[in-house]
Structure 1
Amino acid sequence: MADSRRLNRIRDEAGRILPAGPTLIALSGGADSAVAAWVAVELGHPVRAIHIHHGLPDSRAMELAAKAVAAELGIDLEVVNVEVPDGPSPEAQARAVRRAAIEASAAESEWLVTGHQLDDVAETVADRLARGSGSTGLAAIRPIDGRWVRPLLAISRADVRGVADELGLPYADDPSNDDLRHRRNRIRNVVSPVLTEALGADAIDGLARSARLLAADDAALEMEAGRIEARR
């Protein structure tokens, strides 16, 4: 039986971020975007979904999972086939292609919603720290960035997955997330567990909290710079 208190907490936390209005969910087929879609449906927003098919060996399984989630939630799903060009950073290329495809499909009035959650923020901070980054870069993924909305950023991957399981959402695990050739996967599967073991269970939350604080600092600096420029 689903824990209604837990579901209500996650729905309410995500609902504080997700603006009202037409919503286009980037539905990967995984647990995170499935829960983001559930939140939007629960809040009564007009919701449809889009799935980006990369043409990779495991893409068909993720497409089927996205279709199953959309059917479970009663929302329309558009599947868009894309090709990721060769380049020095396949992950960055794939993100850019996905983003462009979603924006091309979206109506002007639609919010573009992804399933990024707290662990994604922490992993981004760790990655950018290792590369060397200032406050803007370390502010990492923001809850709202123009039309893009990430309502699950304050919720851990474990909690999101737990909600998906409680709801019985038919998500799938993307096998490509286990491929350690990719830097982000090494952070997720190697670095994060070591940090948690060495520094405690709050280490991941601490990295994400640092991103939120740096985002606030960065916004304040930008505002002050604007005031100074206006006085010239």
Structure 2
Amino acid sequence: MAAASRPLLPEAPAIHEIRRAVRAWLTEYDATTVVVGLSGGADSAALTAAAVAEAAAVHAVVVDHRLQAGSDMVAARAVEFAESVGCASARVQVVDVSGPGGLEAAARHARYRALDAARCGNPVLLGHTLDDQAETVLLGLGRGSGLRSIRGMAPFDGPWGRPLLGVRRDTTRLACEELGYRPYEDPHNSDPRFTRVRLRSEVLPLLEDVLGGGAAVALARTAAQLREDGEVLDEAAARMLADALATPDTPTGPQQLDTATLASAPPAVRRRAVRAWLIGMGASSPPDRTLRAVDALVGEWHGQGPVAVGRGPERGTRLVVARRRGRLSVEFVDQQRCADD
């Protein structure tokens, strides 16, 4: 639905800070028309208002997860807010939340699918703040997920844009006050059954107290530094992968990796190259233990059997990596055979 002309935003400190963050992001990534994932909460509402002031056109998409009674009314109010600040369009996308990984993961996957389907080729801005980044780093540390997780969320990981990673959550709340808007408070954000909620309400406040303040800022700064280091390693891994790709025995065969080439690289680079190769061959974000098991086929080879890296297309089959004649290759095998090996 079309919106009216843009209203002027108040000249106030919080709004000004958020506008500057959005302006910098739009300039950095050369974006003019954007979609904003609007929940009606403080972070996404402040982002939406600032984006309207800075971008040529903003389209708001409100995802209704239908997890609570009255979610349709919450979504309708978010659409009203989007129209009031001058979005070019605003729409509600209803989704079904189901799938593995628990409620949080299922809701996130459903939300991202809906936003991706509605973006019409434009980048999607999300309201993740510095505090969200700090929580992500802590989750990665606690789970031992490695550098890729500890370096947190990227400012732009196409199509997902996060202009507010340098803005505190308190600032978005203050911006809503300056706008005269009362943001929606999602009860899931205070439910201690969720790990991230306990990090937010218990762990981070304790860290701030023990360290005398600045813990969230330090965690976010660490994420930025690790992201810079990770990008260098990823570039080296891409070159290594290109060098290690071996010509298969038959023209129609799958891509294979030369183990001698891989073995010449440092483990951090080698595992990144293997990870990129596995994802390209159909594995879904292999965890660290899987990567290390595949890496052992290169650096600690003693004739071991294939390593399962994912599910096959048919029930009872697995995607595995095997080493033969100095090359790594992937194939689908019967799950029982994989277990026997």
Equivalent in 27, 33, 41 of residue 22 of structure 1 = 33
Q: Highest relative contact order (Cα 8 Å, sep 6+), 1 or 2? A: 1
Is the contact made by 2:15 and 2:50 (CA closer than 8 Å) also made in structure 1? Answer: no
Residue 68 of structure 1: CA displacement? Answer: 3.1
- Which amino acid is the alignment partner of residue 52 of structure 1? V
Is the contact made by 2:15 and 2:46 (CA closer than 8 Å) also made in structure 1? Answer: no
Structure with higher strand content:
2
Equivalent in 188, 192, 205 of residue 193 of structure 1 = 205
**What is the 5 A alignment of 1:153-192?**
153-192=165-204
Residue 32 of structure 1: CA displacement? Answer: 0.5
Q: Write the distance in 2 (CA, Å) between the matches of 1:10 and 1:114.
A: 13
Residue 137 of structure 1: CA displacement? Answer: 1.1
Is the contact made by 1:65 and 1:172 (CA closer than 8 Å) also made in structure 2? Answer: no
More displaced stretch, 47-56 vs 194-203: 194-203
- Which amino acid is the alignment partner of residue 44 of structure 1? A
Residue 185 of structure 1: CA displacement? Answer: 1.0
Q: Write the distance in 1 (CA, Å) between the matches of 2:47 and 2:36.
A: 8
Is the contact made by 1:65 and 1:171 (CA closer than 8 Å) also made in structure 2? Answer: no
Structure with higher helix content:
1
1:220–1:77 CA distance, 2 compared to 1 (3 A) = same
Equivalent in 47, 61, 69 of residue 81 of structure 2 = 69
Q: Write the distance in 1 (CA, Å) between the matches of 2:165 and 2:62.
A: 21
**What is the 5 A alignment of 1:184-223?**
184-223=196-235
Residue in 1 aligned with 2:336? none
Q: Number of matched residues?
A: 231
Is the contact made by 1:113 and 1:148 (CA closer than 8 Å) also made in structure 2? Answer: yes
Alignment deviations for residues 71-121 of structure 1 (CA, whole Å, 9 cap, x no partner):
32122211011111154421011101100011111202x111110000000
1:85–1:231 CA distance, 2 compared to 1 (3 A) = closer
Q: Write the distance in 1 (CA, Å) between the matches of 2:55 and 2:101.
A: 42
Is the contact made by 1:29 and 1:64 (CA closer than 8 Å) also made in structure 2? Answer: no
Equivalent in 44, 51, 61 of residue 33 of structure 1 = 44
Unaligned runs of 5+ in 1: none
- Which amino acid is the alignment partner of residue 7 of structure 1? I
Is the contact made by 1:69 and 1:170 (CA closer than 8 Å) also made in structure 2? Answer: no
Unaligned runs of 5+ in 2: 1-9, 245-341
Residue 231 of structure 1: CA displacement? Answer: 6.1
**Helix, strand or coil at the partner of 2:25:** coil
Residue in 1 aligned with 2:58? 47
Larger radius of gyration: 2
Residue 64 of structure 1: CA displacement? Answer: 3.7
Equivalent in 108, 118, 124 of residue 105 of structure 1 = 118
- Which amino acid is the alignment partner of residue 26 of structure 1? G
Is the contact made by 1:27 and 1:34 (CA closer than 8 Å) also made in structure 2? Answer: yes
- Alignment pair present for 1:7 and 2:20: no
Residue in 2 aligned with 1:127? 139
Q: Write the distance in 1 (CA, Å) between the matches of 2:239 and 2:200.
A: 40
Q: Write the distance in 1 (CA, Å) between the matches of 2:175 and 2:165.
A: 15
Residue in 1 aligned with 2:155? 143
Is the contact made by 1:69 and 1:171 (CA closer than 8 Å) also made in structure 2? Answer: no
Q: Write the distance in 2 (CA, Å) between the matches of 1:188 and 1:88.
A: 20
Is the contact made by 1:23 and 1:111 (CA closer than 8 Å) also made in structure 2? Answer: yes
Is the contact made by 2:36 and 2:125 (CA closer than 8 Å) also made in structure 1? Answer: yes
**Helix, strand or coil at the partner of 1:56:** coil
Residue in 1 aligned with 2:130? 118
- Which amino acid is the alignment partner of residue 80 of structure 1? Q
Q: Write the distance in 1 (CA, Å) between the matches of 2:153 and 2:93.
A: 25
Q: Write the distance in 2 (CA, Å) between the matches of 1:56 and 1:129.
A: 30
Residue in 1 aligned with 2:109? 96
Q: Write the distance in 1 (CA, Å) between the matches of 2:61 and 2:72.
A: 15
More displaced stretch, 203-212 vs 87-96: 87-96
Is the contact made by 1:26 and 1:112 (CA closer than 8 Å) also made in structure 2? Answer: yes
